[in-house]
A and B are shown apart, each in its own frame.
Chain A
Amino acid sequence: MNLQVQMWLQAVVNGVALGWLYIVMALGLTWILSIMGILQLAHGEVYMIGAYVVYYLCSSLGLNVYFSILISMVVMAAFGIFLERFLFRVRADRDPVLTPIVVSTGLSLILTSGAVAGFGLYEKSIPRLLYGSVRLFGGAVPKDRLLAIIFSAAALLLLFLFLKRSRWGQAIMASAQNREGALLRGIDPNQMAMISMAIGCAMAALAGALAGSILMLQPYMGSQPMLKGLVIIVLGGLGSLPGAFVGGMLLGLIDGTIPVIFGPAAAALAPLIIVILILLIRPTGMFGHE
């Protein structure tokens, strides 16, 4: 096959694989942002701790990787509930925008220092899920990234079903779209907040665990994905699941192809400029509400 075309195809395939990972990360963030209205700046650290929990379960307790990932998601969901109840609950005397920013910043500092104290500075790795690569559409896709795609897609599907089919899911959707209206219908915003945090943190843990097995673990691994998550939720719009999906895919494709064609400067700037333009033209993002 023509070398240029092959390179392009590989780039696109890379992008799609990356995109799925980003989507899971962004999903958690967009939940918390749209339902609780807060910018959870420590989301990247939740992602990081989720990965470290898997590391601990695999290396110290010798548990199976997949099982560890599931446990980590549950643990981080519980952690999320704890965070909502004690750190992020809205109260009358607290500024609703500023307080979460400061609290989550403080939390992020504590979690990174805690990870350093608990796990040390050295890079760690989670057992690779699969070895080798497959050839797909003219490009080589590492098998573990394929598996990550499947897991992410499954998580997305489950979340979608939960929202559409279960009562709680519908209550959350209602709450996200119209807070006051939901209140009038008797939906408890605190309960909605707790569930959202739980789901958001579980998603972050999944993304962290998958990234940890594909890339690496270190206490500062959360900041870059956090920035990407922010970009995606703006691209796709708040409170929108399809938005997070499209946004994640778009960013994944950009991140997969632009470095290949243009180089690192463009790769860094392109997503930011695109998002800034979108924010200016359509502040609620591609699919956002309110």
Chain B
Amino acid sequence: MKRRGVTLKLLGVVLSAALLVGAMGTFHQTSAAPAKHVKIGSVMPITGPLAVLGLAFNRGWQLYLDKINSQGGLKIGDETYLFDLISEDSKLSAEGASTAAKKLINQDKVDYVVGGIMEFELEAIYQATSTRKVPFIIANINVPGHQADVSPKKPFLVRLFYSHDDSHSIDLDYLVKTYPKAKKMVIVAPDVDYDRMIEHLTAQAKVVGIDVVGVGKWAFGTTDFIPTYTKALAMNPEVIWAMVSGQATYQLMAARQLGFKGPFVSNVPLGPEVFQHVVNDPTALTDVITNGVDLSRPNEMIKDVMGRWDAKFKDPFVSDCLAAWDQTWILTQAMEKAKSVAGDKVIAALETMTAPGSLKTCFGPGQMGGAKRFGVNRVLTRPLPLTRIMNGKTEFIGFMTVK
């Protein structure tokens, strides 16, 4: 008696589920793209601890696309193209990224996919995009050269985000010039596969006369850096290099609280305004070198982006969106060069834009590169901002060209 009720109910639920799943298809389906719309799908963590980054990137892409749409779209030959951005949540997991990418490709029929922060997301997204030959633009990578990165074996993949080790020579040169007495360095890095970058930095430091006396590693997700810096400071460094970490502000506070007075280098795009906002101890905000842009001294392009952000959003500006703005901007520049919006032609065009200054970015003229290191010219190189914070005040040194 109860069983029959169960099976009937089960039938009802499964039928409804099937109908719902099918309806999901029609419900979300955007209409087949007329020839004049280019759809870009984004896969970023919108929930979870990295959601701020996901938000900033989505806004950066959107702001540039708004700009080009408001100018009437992109003119290629006789056609004019408008751009749509559809964003999905990766939930910071491989399955989430994979499902999001598949939805964008199969449901929304996007022409390009952009996004990813963690390598496992990049892996998952590429698996979905490559089967359908949809170009995937890597928006961020922590470990350049990782298996998820560009390679000759991976068509339809391009990275419009710079490699973090581009910052090494810039920061080291400035360090040597400004703090000539700092000869012993400790590198503090998250315990992900940064070993190659650490080796690279060590070798480069040696060339300019700085000895790396130790490396302190901390688990991804650490919020309390006192233990890590206890160990790091026991090696008596004269300079600390906090490698590529969004937590650099907390690391700075921990280091200063434990008594470290030397220069603190953070080679991540974290802006000085974030340091000033988060670090609530004024005595810590000194002798800090960062590759973040000084928002109080923007160039024309950055000022434009900031203005557009303030007009559209209530939250304060997050400088990570500049990297995203550049990505969609570069995409349209490549489309103009290729005289087409087709993915394969656009990527081929990008591969030819390797002469210095071939690409325009918010940070200055850049170009594609990477043939020697990655096997293909599908990685962006562009100038990096260099800023120092002294006694609570930001000193913007400039946009430095990568050697």
Q: Which residues of A contact B (CB under 8 A)?
A: 3-4, 6-7, 10-11, 14, 18, 113, 116, 120-123, 125, 127-128, 131-133, 139-140, 142, 215-216, 218, 220-221, 224, 255-257, 259-261, 263-265, 267-268
* Chain B stretch 191-221: residues in CB contact (< 8 A) with chain A: 191, 217-219, 221
Q: Which residues of B contact A4 (CB under 8 A)?
A: 234
- Distance in angstroms from B189 CB to nearest chain A CB is 11
Near A by CB (< 8 A), chain B positions 246-301 give 250, 257-259, 278, 280-283
Residue pair A267, B219 in contact (C-beta under 8 Å): yes
**Per-position contact with A for B307-323: 1 when CB-CB < 8 Å, else 0?**
00000000110100000
CB of B67 within 8 Å of the partner chain: no
A123 touching B218, Cβ below 8 Å: no
A136 to chain B, nearest CB (A): 12
Q: Which of B52, B259, B283 contacts A121 (CB 8 A)?
A: B52
Q: Report whether B52 and A224 are in contact in the complex, using a CB–CB cutoff of 8 Å.
A: no
* B259 contacts across to A, CB distance below 8 A: 133, 140
Separation of A243 and B219 alpha carbons in the complex (Å): 28
Query: Is the Cβ of B281 less than 8 Å from the Cβ of A128?
Result: yes
A211 to B48, CA, bound (A): 19
Q: Which residues of B contact A216 (CB under 8 A)?
A: 223, 250, 278
Contact yes or no, A215 B250, CB < 8 A: yes
In the bound complex, do residue A215 and residue B234 qualify as a contact, i.e. CB atoms below 8 Å apart? no
Q: Is the CB of A14 within 8 A of B315?
A: no
Residues A122 and B315 in contact in the complex (CB < 8 Å), given A116-B51, A133-B257, A259-B231? yes
The reply to whether B230 and A14 form a contact with Cβ atoms under 8 Å apart is yes
Q: A125-B278, A128-B280 are in contact. Are A10 and B258 (CB under 8 A)?
A: yes
Q: Please indicate the chain B residues that have their CB under 8 angstroms from the CB of A127 in the complex.
A: 280
Expressed in whole angstroms, the minimum distance between the Cβ of A59 and any Cβ of chain B is 12
Tell whether, in the assembled complex, residue B228 and residue A259 are in contact, meaning their CB atoms are under 8 Å apart. Answer: yes
* B220 CB, nearest partner CB in chain A, Å: 8
When A220-B49, A259-B228, A263-B191 are in contact, do A131 and B281 touch as well, CB less than 8 Å?
yes
Q: Can you list 6 A-B contacts with CB-CB less than 8 angstroms, sorted by A residue number? A: A7-B234, A125-B278, A133-B258, A133-B259, A139-B230, A256-B226
Report B-chain residues with C-beta under 8 Å of the C-beta of A132: 283
Known: A215-B223, A220-B49. A140 touches B234 (CB 8 A): no
B130 within 8 A of A: no
Which residues of A have CB within 8 Å of B318?
Answer: 122
Chain A positions within 8 Å of B221 at CB level: 224
Query: Does B55 have its Cβ within 8 Å of any Cβ on chain A?
Result: yes
Q: Which 9 A-B pairs have the closest CB atoms?
A: A264-B219, A7-B234, A259-B227, A260-B231, A142-B257, A264-B191, A121-B52, A10-B230, A220-B49
Considering the chains assembled together, what is the distance between the CA atoms of A128 and B278 in angstroms?
Answer: 11
Option from B48, B223, B227, B282 in Cβ contact (under 8 Å) with A14: B227
> Considering only CB atoms and an 8 Å cut-off, how many residues of chain B contact the other chain?
34
18 more A-B residue pairs beyond the given contacts A131-B281, A133-B259, with a C-beta to C-beta distance below 8 A: A7-B231, A7-B234, A113-B47, A121-B51, A121-B52, A122-B52, A122-B315, A125-B278, A133-B258, A140-B258, A215-B224, A216-B250, A221-B223, A255-B227, A256-B227, A263-B191, A264-B222, A267-B227
> Known contacts A220-B48, A259-B227; is A6 also within 8 Å of B280 by CB?
no
> A263 contacts B217, CB within 8 Å?
yes
Across the interface, which residues of B come within 8 angstroms of A263, CB to CB? 191, 217
Which B residues have a C-beta under 8 Å from some C-beta of A? 47-49, 51-52, 55, 191, 217-219, 221-224, 226-228, 230-231, 233-234, 236, 250, 257-259, 278, 280-283, 315-316, 318
Q: Shortest distance in angstroms between B211's beta carbon and chain A's nearest beta carbon?
A: 17
Residues of A within 8 A of B228 (CB): 259-260
Name the residue in A6, A18, A263 with the highest tally of chain B Cβ atoms < 10 Å from its Cβ: A263
Smallest CB–CB gap between B281 and chain A, Å?
Answer: 6
A267 to B227, CA, bound (A): 11
Contact B223 A7 (CB under 8 A): no
Q: In the docked arrangement, what's the CA distance between A127 and B316, Å?
A: 20
Chain B residues positioned under 8 Å from A218 (CB to CB): 49
Alpha-carbon distance between A124 and B333 when the two chains are bound, in angstroms: 38
How far, in Å, is B56 (CB) from chain A's closest CB? 9
Nearest CB on A from B152, distance (A): 34
Tell me the minimal C-beta distance from A252 to chain B in angstroms: 11
Determine if A120 and B315 form an interchain contact, defined as CB atoms under 8 angstroms apart.
yes
Residues on B with beta carbons closer than 8 Å to the beta carbon of A125: 278, 280
A131 in contact with B283 given A122-B315, A264-B191 (CB within 8 Å)? yes
Given A123-B52, A268-B219, also A3-B234 (CB < 8 A): yes
User: A173: shortest Cβ distance to chain B, in Å?
Assistant: 33
Q: Which residues of B contact A265 (CB under 8 A)?
A: 191, 219
Provide the bound-state CA to CA distance between A216 and B248, in Å. 13
On whether the beta carbons of A123 and B278 are closer than 8 Å, the reply is: yes
**How far does the Cβ of B4 sit from chain A's closest Cβ, in whole Å?**
24
Distance between Cα atoms of A264 and B219 in the complex (Å): 5
Minimum CB–CB distance from A120 to chain B (whole Å) comes to 6
Q: How far is the CA of A260 from the CA of B258 in the complex (A)?
A: 14
Chain B residues whose C-beta falls within 8 Å of the C-beta of A10 in the assembled complex: 230, 258
> In the complex, which residues of chain A have a beta carbon less than 8 angstroms from the beta carbon of B258?
10, 133, 140
Q: Which chain A residues lie closer than 8 Å to B282 at the CB level?
A: 131
Q: Nearest-CB distance from A86 to chain B (Å)?
A: 26
Q: Which residue of B lies closest to A263 (CB)?
A: B217
Question: Which among A122, A220, A256 has the greatest number of chain B C-beta atoms within 10 A?
Answer: A122
**A113 to B26 alpha-carbon distance, docked (Å):** 28
With a cutoff of 8 Å between Cβ atoms, the chain B residues found around residue A121 in the complex are 51-52, 55
- Residues of chain A within 8 A (CB-CB) of B236 are 3
Nearest B residue to A130 by beta-carbon distance?
A: B281
Give the residues in chain A near B222, CB-CB below 8 Å. 264
Contact of A6 among B219, B223, B226, B234 (CB under 8 A): B234
**Complex alpha-carbon distance, A161 and B45, angstroms:** 47
Give Cα distance in the complex from A10 to B55, angstroms: 39
Residues of A within 8 A of B280 (CB): 125, 127-128
